Structure 1
Amino acid sequence: MKLLYQDEYFVAIEKPSGFHVHPPEDGYPVPREKICLYQVRDMLGQHVFPVHRLDAGTSGVLLFALSSESAREVSRLFAERLTKKTYHAVVRGYTPVEGDIHIPLELDSTGVAVEAHTSFKRLATIEFPIPVGKKFPTARYSMIEAKPHTGRFHQIRRHLNRITHPLLGDSYHGDSRHNQFFRNHLGIEGLCLKAVHLEFIHPWTKTNISITAPECEKWNKIQLLFTPP
């Protein structure tokens, strides 16, 4: 876990895959050392306040506030869509070169479908001469850049699945055969989703805050897969 940004109001870390932002609300037991809230609090020696969420399997930029007032202000920025979030993902199949997904998604709290918008562009493709599924003689994958313009639960994962390009390593919305191929044959485990960049205007200093996640072993391995020989 690396510290990426810090001032008197906020702190950003590089969240590792497999870590929870805070203790699961359903009471599922998670070791304390796998909870970012506790790790950041111990690292700084003070209370911190989560202001947005990343799924446990997602790695990358994660922001915390250092006071309740700061938390309210930056939470407002997220709620009013004044932050810019950029993710990298690997999905099944060849996606369009770019696209916008406007498919309502059900709230996890009420089940009511609400507006949801994700844009994406394709960064690279790869094809293996292996029939992972029953429908096609080869296995095709795309690396994409995705930007969620709304903040729905599992939004990127659900949206890409709805357009038949599920994320690799996604056990809830993905394709188990392709997940197994990535894990057993390519040595890439877990959800292939990384929060690579977060940008917003600082509520107090009015400066542009731009935070980028550093390289990591898993995504270096993924990048090599998609790099032509």
Structure 2
Amino acid sequence: MSDFTEQNLVEPIDGPLPIVFQDEHYVVVYKPAGLLVHRSWIAKQATVFAMQLLRDQLGQYVYPVHRLDRPTCGLLVMALSSEAAAKLSECFSNREVSKSYVAIVRGYIEGEHHLDYPLVEEQDQMTDALAQQDKDAQPAVTDYRGLALAEISYSTGRFPTSRYSLLRLNPLTGRKHQLRRHMHHISHPIIGDTTHGDGKHNRLFRELGHPGLWLFADQLRFTHPYSGEIVSCKSPLPPRWQRVLEQLSWNSSLLLSD
């Protein structure tokens, strides 16, 4: 697929989007970093979208159920009918869907933590121009825990080395850019975050051959609205994540923990 070479897509893919789960109602795919879910005024130059690719791949129309930010890679659910989309969207709205991410952040974090820090809604200059501008901060809660630590012999400032942590992040609410903003709030920004991150560390990762945002939605769990069964999905490990784990001397088995 030559379209995958467009500028913001940091994970070129030759072939169809990897399907993790599929039945007559839903399909869960792996979305590469840099790929938009659907057409957006924010990125008018984009010509390739997950909805379009999956539609062509399956030979039928698909309906979005939730969002996954453009720079974030990982599991994305699409419905195969408008009714199925409405049913599962309600589950997302009611916080009945469990989402789990892994991230690489600046500095050392160990142990388990619970962050309850309300967030004022972030608005896009173009698409939210008519939205209410003085909304109160909304509840935002994230559980996170350290999986591994790394120190590499590259300087990003006054110290001769740079330190990083691999985290498991579980958002209990669904605010816009919640994980990126929560990690920024505790002064451990996610590497590659150009809005809430640390430019010096982002630059180092690019120079080491690891561009893009290091946030991966690798696990998803929900109760099927039709069958009542638990659907539990885990994404395959993307090659770029395998490479960065090797760079930081982390074993990929660390990501298998729930």
Equivalent residue, structure 2, for 1:141: 164
Equivalent residue, structure 1, for 2:58: 44
Q: CA deviation at 1:216?
A: 1.4
Structure 2 residue identity aligned to 1:42: D
Aligned counterparts of 1:208 and 1:218: Cα–Cα separation in 2: 30
User: What secondary structure, in the 3-state scheme, does the structure 1 residue paired with 2:84 have?
Assistant: helix
Q: CA contact under 8 A between 1:126 and 1:225: conserved in structure 2?
A: no
RMSD: 1.6
Equivalent residue, structure 1, for 2:173: 150
Equivalent residue, structure 1, for 2:138: 114
Equivalent residue, structure 2, for 1:99: 113
User: What secondary structure, in the 3-state scheme, does the structure 1 residue paired with 2:155 have?
Assistant: coil
Equivalent residue, structure 1, for 2:4: none
Equivalent residue, structure 2, for 1:84: 98
User: Please, which runs of 5 or more residues in structure 1 have no aligned partner?
Assistant: none
Equivalent residue, structure 1, for 2:201: 178
Equivalent residue, structure 2, for 1:129: 153
Q: Which segments of structure 1 move beyond 4 Å, counting only runs of 4 or more?
A: none
Q: Aligned pairs, how many?
A: 225
Q: CA contact under 8 A between 2:100 and 2:171: conserved in structure 1?
A: yes
User: Please, which runs of 5 or more residues in structure 2 have no aligned partner?
Assistant: 1-16, 124-131, 252-258
TM-score scaled by length of structure 1? 0.93
Equivalent residue, structure 1, for 2:224: 202
After superposition, residues 209-220 of structure 1 pair within 5 angstroms as 209-220=231-242
Structure 2 residue identity aligned to 1:188: H
Aligned-residue identity in percent = 40
Aligned counterparts of 2:111 and 2:184: Cα–Cα separation in 1: 17
Q: CA deviation at 1:137?
A: 4.1
Structure 1 residue identity aligned to 2:183: L
Which digits, 9 at most, give the CA deviation of each residue in 1:27-47, with x for residues without a partner?
Answer: 62211x3x1011111111111
Q: 1:125 to 1:59 in 2, by over 3 A?
A: same
Structure 2 residue identity aligned to 1:214: P
Select between 74-83 and 214-223 the one with higher mean Cα deviation. 214-223
Structure 1 residue identity aligned to 2:195: Y
Q: 1:106 to 1:25 in 2, by over 3 A?
A: farther
1:20 correspondence with 2:14: no
User: What secondary structure, in the 3-state scheme, does the structure 2 residue paired with 1:114 have?
Assistant: coil
Aligned counterparts of 2:152 and 2:27: Cα–Cα separation in 1: 41
TM-score scaled by length of structure 2? 0.83
Structure 2 residue identity aligned to 1:190: G
Q: Which has the higher strand share?
A: 1
Which one of 23, 48, 54 corresponds to residue 68 of structure 2?
54
Which digits, 9 at most, give the CA deviation of each residue in 1:128-167, with x for residues without a partner?
Answer: 2333124x44311000010111111111001000100001
User: What secondary structure, in the 3-state scheme, does the structure 2 residue paired with 1:118 have?
Assistant: strand
User: What secondary structure, in the 3-state scheme, does the structure 2 residue paired with 1:171 have?
Assistant: coil
Equivalent residue, structure 1, for 2:18: 2
Which one of 192, 217, 220 corresponds to residue 169 of structure 1?
192
User: What secondary structure, in the 3-state scheme, does the structure 2 residue paired with 1:209 have?
Assistant: strand
Q: CA contact under 8 A between 1:133 and 1:178: conserved in structure 2?
A: no
